[in-house]
Amino acid sequence: MKRQTLYLILAVIGFLAPYYFFIQLSPQQGFDISALLQPLFANHFMKGLAVDLTVSVIVFWFFMFAEADRLLMKNPWIYLLATLLVGMSFALPLFLYFRERKLEAQ
């Protein structure tokens, strides 16, 4: 299996897996950001996971913009938006998929 295909499959999984849980939020609960973030900082373990993910996202953004600039990839802001709307599980493999396509084309 080509790496490009694997990244695309992982991007699809990375989109579907988080949204499986996101769609389970009931409309009665609404979108209360403080209620969503509160469990994230419930204990030291969860705080550690939150900090780890935050640092990983920042590193990914720096890498992504630098690599997109180096390879002359168009619209790198899409991956930033993908991170914010879905998460790293979608944005990273999506970026790697399009990066592989760009590298193959060169």
> What pLDDT digit, counting tens, does each position of 70-93 carry?
999 999 999 999 999 999 999 999
Asked if residue 76 is part of any domain, the answer here is yes
Asked if residue 83 is part of any domain, the answer here is yes
- Can you give the chain as a three-state secondary structure string? CCHHHHHHHHHHHHHHHHHHHHCCCCCCCCCCHHHHHHHHHCCHHHHHHHHHHHHHHHHHHHHHHHHHHHCCCCCCHHHHHHHHHCCHHHHHHHHHHHHHHHHHHC
31: pLDDT confidence band, cut at 50, 70 and 90? low
Asked if residue 63 is part of any domain, the answer here is yes
Tally of domains in the chain: 1
Asked if residue 36 is part of any domain, the answer here is no
Asked if residue 30 is part of any domain, the answer here is no
- Is the model more confident about 4 or about 34? 4
- Residue ranges making up the domain that contains 92: 3-19+44-105
